[in-house]
Amino acid sequence: MTALEVRGLHVALGDTPVLRDVGLEASPGEALALLGPSGSGKTTLLSAIAGFVVPSGGEIAVGGRVVSGPGLHEPPERRSIGFVFQNYGLWPHLTALQTVAYPLLRSGESPPEALVEAGRLLEMMGLEDLGGRRPSQLSGGQQQRVGVARALARRADLYLLDEPTAHLDSGLRAGLQQEIAARMTADGTATVYATHDAAEAMAVAHRVALMR
């Protein structure tokens, strides 16, 4: 069974075609990089897979289950997907600890268990002392790492990462790449990783899909 299958996907934003007849797949435990410049459709493709954008044609299956196709569009919350947004996508009223704990609470964990696991994920991201801060009190790189921790807390069948290291320095970038690779190996989870950096694509991915 494949973790992700995209078949004949078409997406238009207004009257502008963005994706035309896109097809790709990823296996469990595999990292697939989407490599291309800004404007090539990487974010649109990830958003369609996650359910934030409604395709105008084609089919998407996650974990062998069709989530988007003719007459079908499951909302994002019904897809087993963890998404790391390029613009962080953090809730301004929640602390870093509460943000990371939220997916765990939604999955049925008790508040004490969720907070312990959220703290562990923040520690893994080097943010163990910043759990009580809100996004406005964090740097861009810190916010990005909180977003990654929240996605990992989702325990999803598929992770989608949109330029997840764009706001990190080289040392943090390498550490985050290693952590993503380790999580995929441990969980057998597939990851689709959008980047404009060829060196990063080669560092994190088993296969690379070029987008123009």
Q: How many whole angstroms separate alpha carbon 174 and alpha carbon 170? A: 6
Q: In what order do the strands lie in the sheet with 158-162?
A: 81-84, 158-162, 190-195, 31-35, 207-210
Q: Are 11 and 48 in contact (CB under 8 A)?
A: yes
* 8 A C-beta contact, residue 202 and residue 40: no
pLDDT value at residue 13: 85
Strands 72-73 and 81-84: what pairing? Answer: unpaired
Q: Report the greatest alpha carbon distance in the chain.
A: 49
Digitized pLDDT (tens) for each residue of the chain, 212 residues in all: 789 999 999 999 888 899 999 999 999 889 899 999 989 999 999 999 999 999 999 999 998 999 999 999 999 988 988 888 777 678 899 999 999 999 899 888 999 999 999 999 899 888 889 999 999 999 888 888 898 888 888 778 898 988 877 666 666 777 777 766 676 666 678 899 999 989 888 888 899 999 98
Give dist(CA 41, CA 44) in Å, integer: 5
Q: What is the distance between the alpha carbons of residues 191 and 204, in angstroms, rounded to a whole number?
A: 10
- At residue 113, the pLDDT reads 93
pLDDT for residue 15: 87
φ/ψ bin of 88: left (φ > 0), alpha (ψ from -120 to 50), beta (otherwise): left
CA 150 from chain centre, in angstroms, equals 10
Q: At what angle do helices 140-153 and 96-106 cross, to 10 degrees?
A: 20
Burial class (CB in 10 A: 0-12, 13-18, 19+), 111: exposed
- Whole-number pLDDT of residue 74: 95
Q: What pTM, to 2 d.p., does this model score? A: 0.82
